[in-house]
């Protein structure tokens, strides 16, 4: 896989921050029935996008020093800033339609607890990739669930940003993964898939009303997530330059010795 330097990513985030894709002079036009279907999810994701990112910064700082790439920390800080922009925009929208910015949500609290104990860059990376992947489906469904032009523009802006976020994190996962031995790779590959699918199920349960309003049923949601998993952490991506480790072959070979 072709990976970019941290300086490339710093540059990318700086340039992207100068682009304004939302016309804030537009008035929100959301009907009561739309609101009923999307408000709870909108509030939950607004809260999720507003994290300070302290723990991710700590983990990235430790990791950047270990690999001697201090620029990586700058790229991560700008990445977090972009997530906060999403939170601010969704918050601004909630203010405009006269709804509350919530302070607590069970999904957000659960994810914050996991983040609190996590200082490992690999775990951070797969966790962020998973959330970004669900975010892409979520914001597309939100966009499809409303006729409000302003909300659609906010979603489009987030979707454009998230596509690069996934590439940024996918490259990091590949770099970390490439340094493992065959056995660790085999374990990690399965652990990533398991975490990705389990988290997807939790996100479906928490936001199924919104997904259904955006014309997405459970099967299409899961098949979209499986496709995303294949693209970000599938066998062909992670094991690009080598044969896939297969413990059955190893056992067979050992039994001949
Ligand atoms: Fe985001
Ligand atoms: Fe993101």
Domains of the chain, each with CATH number or no CATH: 31-256 (1.20.1260.10)
Ligand closest to 157 (CA) is 1
- What per-residue confidence (pLDDT) applies to 37? 95
Ligand 1 mean position, distance from CA 243 (Å): 35
Ligand 2 mean position, distance from CA 88 (Å): 13
- With bands split at pLDDT 50, 70 and 90, how would you rate the model's confidence at 45? very high
**∠ CA 249-253-257 to the nearest 5 degrees?**
165
Ligand closest to 128 (CA) is 2
Ligand 1 mean position, distance from CA 132 (Å): 7
Ligand closest to 48 (CA) is 1
Ligand closest to 138 (CA) is 1
Ligand 1 mean position, distance from CA 99 (Å): 20
The overall average pLDDT reported for the chain is 91
Is the pLDDT higher at 174 or at 104? 174
Ligand closest to 84 (CA) is 1
pLDDT at 5 > cutoff 50: yes
pLDDT at 135 > cutoff 70: yes
- What per-residue confidence (pLDDT) applies to 257? 44
Ligand closest to 49 (CA) is 1
Q: Mind listing the pLDDT tens digit for each residue in 151-172? A: 999 999 999 999 999 999 999 9
- What per-residue confidence (pLDDT) applies to 81? 97
pLDDT at 254 > cutoff 60: no
Sign of the Cα torsion 56, 57, 59, 64 reads positive
Ion ligand 2 — residues with CB < 5 Å: 132, 162, 165
Taking Cα atoms as reference points, which of 240, 228, 231 lies closest to residue 200?
228
Ligand 2 mean position, distance from CA 83 (Å): 6
Q: What secondary structure letter does DSSP report for 25?
A: T
Q: Mind listing the pLDDT tens digit for each residue in 184-206? A: 999 999 999 999 999 999 999 99
- With bands split at pLDDT 50, 70 and 90, how would you rate the model's confidence at 51? confident
Ligand 1 mean position, distance from CA 90 (Å): 10
Q: Which residues contact 214 (CB under 8 A, 6 or more apart)?
A: 140, 141, 142, 143, 144, 145
pLDDT at 253 > cutoff 50: no
SS3 52: coil
pLDDT at 242 > cutoff 90: no
pLDDT at 256 > cutoff 70: no
Ligand 2 mean position, distance from CA 159 (Å): 9
Q: Mind listing the pLDDT tens digit for each residue in 68-114? A: 999 999 999 999 999 999 999 999 999 999 999 998 887 777 777 66
Ligand 2 mean position, distance from CA 212 (Å): 23
Give mean pLDDT, residues 51-71: 93
SS3 106: helix
pTM for the model stands at 0.90
- What per-residue confidence (pLDDT) applies to 1? 86
């Amino acid at each position: 896989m072709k990976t970019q330097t941290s300086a490339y990513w710093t540059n990318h985030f700086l340039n992207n921050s100068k682009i304004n894709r939302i016309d804030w002079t537009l008035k929100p036009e959301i009907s009561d029935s739309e609101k009923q279907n999307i408000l709870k999810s909108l509030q939950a994701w607004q809260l999720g996008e507003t994290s300070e990112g302290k723990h991710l910064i700590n983990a990235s700082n430790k990791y950047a020093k270990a690999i001697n790439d201090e620029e990586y920390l700058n790229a991560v800080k700008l990445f977090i800033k972009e997530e906060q922009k999403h939170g601010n925009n969704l918050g601004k929208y909630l203010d405009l339609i006269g709804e509350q910015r919530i302070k607590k949500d069970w999904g957000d609290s659960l994810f914050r607890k996991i983040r609190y104990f996590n200082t490992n860059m690999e775990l951070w990376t797969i966790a962020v990739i998973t959330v970004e992947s669900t975010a892409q489906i979520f914001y597309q469904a939100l966009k499809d669930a409303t006729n409000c032009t302003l909300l659609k523009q906010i979603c489009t802006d987030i979707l454009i940003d998230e596509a690069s976020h996934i590439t940024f994190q996918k490259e990091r996962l590949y770099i970390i993964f490439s340094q493992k031995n065959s056995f660790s790779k085999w374990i990690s590959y399965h652990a990533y898939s398991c975490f990705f699918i389990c988290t997807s199920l939790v996100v479906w349960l928490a936001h199924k009303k919104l997904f259904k309003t955006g014309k997405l049923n459970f099967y299409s949601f899961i098949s979209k997530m499986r496709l995303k998993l294949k693209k970000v952490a599938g066998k062909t991506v992670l094991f690009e330059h080598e044969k896939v480790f297969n413990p059955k072959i190893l056992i067979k070979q050992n039994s001949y010795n």
